[in-house]
Structure 1
Amino acid sequence: MAMKTISFLSIISLLALTLSLVMASDPSPLQDFCIGVNTPANGVFVNGKFCKDPKLATADDFFFSGLHNARAVNNAVGSNVTGVNVNNLPGLNTLGISLVRIDYGVNGQNPPHTHPRATEGLIHFQANVGRSPAVAFAALSSQNPGVVTIANTVFGSNPPINPNVLARAFQLDPKVVIDLQNKF
């Protein structure tokens, strides 16, 4: 019995010594800054972009002009989305954030959608009461959140989804589904 206890204690001691030397974790992509550029100039590739030499950084790398200006709304859904992400504000690279401004026309909407790589927080600054335009800002938890608009995906897919399948799923007449698919 004493020999088993000594062997067990020896194994536990050996494991304790070796495990204290092991460290496993995901590296954090966050850093002070890594201005994203599309061309390598002896740069490091981080989060899908090459990093600009920090000595060449300018204030313009961290500035997006005009987000405070209203945008024209000339489409079927009655809204205009202006995205600010790493592609038009390179200083956002590796910071894990992006922003959108949504301008709504009278009775406009931002169609149901999802961001496959982000969580969205939305703030309305001016309510649309049916007589005047509205504006909202959304913060997203990704430098490249992506967007999937539900109606486009369901009714505008290529190749198209069988209208009978959609009619059953949405409890609609197949003729209504075909009409919706023709709009896309």
Structure 2
Amino acid sequence: MQPNHGREYNKNRTRIALATAAIKLFREKGFESTTVEEIAKVAGSSASTFFRYFGTKEDVLFLGAREVNEEFQKFISEPVPGLTRWDQIHLGIVVALHKLAELSEEVQDASIGGWLEEPALRDRFGQLSAQMEGAMAAALAAEKGVDPDHDLGVQLAARAATSIYVAAFHVHHHTGRALKDLVDEGFSMIGTGLYSPS
């Protein structure tokens, strides 16, 4: 193993350990009542170590979200041969969820609960969703050769895709059903009647 790879592995392990400790405390004490000092202590670290990896305790529940969001936007920005942009968006959402789960399924599940239920996190989740929705509208509009702000079908489709993954988060949080299955089911339920590239 290369020295840099070992360093990256250790950094990632520390980051996951801090996030896992935070999730444990959020569940036991509640998000608002948990302090950074307590998170660090449970993880066997210090508050200064915590702040090397996370700017705030809210950042724990957005672990990897910014990077995955950027990758999603990049993925849907250029057409994939053989796929409509609608199908590409569907695939991009599934891949994004898989990447978040790869970091830590426990953190992903707790993050989803926080995004849906914690007032302190809802606005930030809303901002990420709005960025994704704007990127989806731009991709769909590029396929049709229209202005995304002038086309009702594009706007409806982008909002529908957002609604699919948010609804999937909600049902997953309350039932434990697999996110991929829920997203696939949501896209199947909406179907292609909503959006046509021509």
- TM-score scaled by structure 2? 0.27
- TM-score scaled by structure 1? 0.29
Q: Which has the higher contact order (CA 8 A, sep 6+)?
A: 2
More strand, by proportion: 1
